[in-house]
Structure 1
Amino acid sequence: MPKGKKKVKVVDWAADENFSKERSIFYVEHTTECPIFQMKAEECGAFFKQRIPEREFQLVRNKNGKEAPREGAFEIGFSQNARTSVHELWSGLTRGPPRRDKFPEDYENLVPDVQRVLKKFYPDKVVGLTDDEEDEN
């Protein structure tokens, strides 16, 4: 193995030993042609961990390296947990140039969609919504 390259351990979040229904998954497919795509993926995961701290989130990039990303891709999917279906939150595939159009302008705009998915599975636990926000949805 070349020096400096460390092997990344791939975790199967749906496997019994790793699964938790309290852990939601963000799936980001991003091209590797430019480092900004990787940075934006990490930024997305960090935003939601801070924005909804009462929920556990896991970021899975490019299916843990098992799938080559499409050229120019920046796609964000979300699932309630590792065993539920993935809901597309953002697609930058057909956007741009310029490159900045590939990414959501503000991750805050994705929060209502994430909360809708969470609420579908746990209607009694409305995650991060105030009463006013809940009335709007």
Structure 2
Amino acid sequence: MPPKGPGKKKKDVDWADDEHFSKERSMIYIEHTYECPIFQTKADECGAFLQQRIPERKFQLVKNKYGRQVPREGAFEIGFSQNARTSVHLLWSGLDKGPPRRDKFPVDYETLVPDVNRILKKFYPDKAVGVLEEDEDEQREDDM
């Protein structure tokens, strides 16, 4: 991907500093290769999916550490942290998958939601995540 022209570079925000930090903003870190545009498209799709699926949280998508990281060849990895000051947990790695290229990406982003909820619960167990409550209600109804 060609670099942006002068004056068009987006300023990097340090989400962990006091000015920008929020406990309510979870971070999605994606390392993706530039060898094909589908990698960037899939990264954007993942961020949009999680924001739509868990609307009570704010999400910040960080791709290739704001362009400062040189991605590994064939890389598509998704990391998640509860907020900018907590550790990053690997949710998906497509490094050792493929060819074909489609194997590098999760078949369905829905498979990432249980891990995301587990991470959110780990750091803030007193905050209920709506998705988990719905799943528990459905399970209780099935048991009856």
- Length-normalised TM-score, structure 2: 0.87
CA contact (8 A) 1:115 1:126 kept: no
Match of 1:28 in 2: 30
- Cα RMSD for the two superposed structures: 2.1
Match of 1:111 in 2: 113
Structure 2 residue identity aligned to 1:40: K
Deviation digits for residues 98-120 of structure 1 (CA, Å, limit 9, x no counterpart): 00000000000000000000001
Structure 1's unaligned 5+ residue stretches are: none
**Does residue 1:61 correspond to 2:52, yes or no?**
no
Q: Output the CA distance in 2 between the equivalents of 1:89 and 1:134.
A: 26
Shift of 1:80: 0.4
Match of 1:46 in 2: 48
Shift of 1:133: 3.9
User: Alignment identity in percent?
Assistant: 73
Count of residue pairs brought into register by the alignment: 136
Deviation digits for residues 71-119 of structure 1 (CA, Å, limit 9, x no counterpart): 1000000000000000000000000000000000000000000000000
Shift of 1:122: 1.3
Instruction: Give the ranges of 4+ consecutive aligned residues of structure 1 lying more than 3 Å apart after TM superposition.
Output: 1-5, 131-136
**Does residue 1:130 correspond to 2:133, yes or no?**
yes
Match of 1:18 in 2: 20
Match of 1:77 in 2: 79
- Length-normalised TM-score, structure 1: 0.92
Tell which structure's C-alpha radius of gyration is larger.
2
Shift of 1:28: 0.1
Q: Output the CA distance in 2 between the equivalents of 1:2 and 1:56.
A: 27
Q: Output the CA distance in 2 between the equivalents of 1:31 and 1:66.
A: 13
Q: Output the CA distance in 2 between the equivalents of 1:132 and 1:67.
A: 38
Q: Output the CA distance in 2 between the equivalents of 1:61 and 1:126.
A: 28
Q: Give the 3-state SS of the residue equivalent to 2:46 in structure 1.
A: helix
Q: Give 1:93-112 correspondences, 5 Å limit.
A: 93-112=95-114
Deviation digits for residues 18-77 of structure 1 (CA, Å, limit 9, x no counterpart): 111110000000001110000000000000000000001000000111111001000000
Structure 2 residue identity aligned to 1:89: L
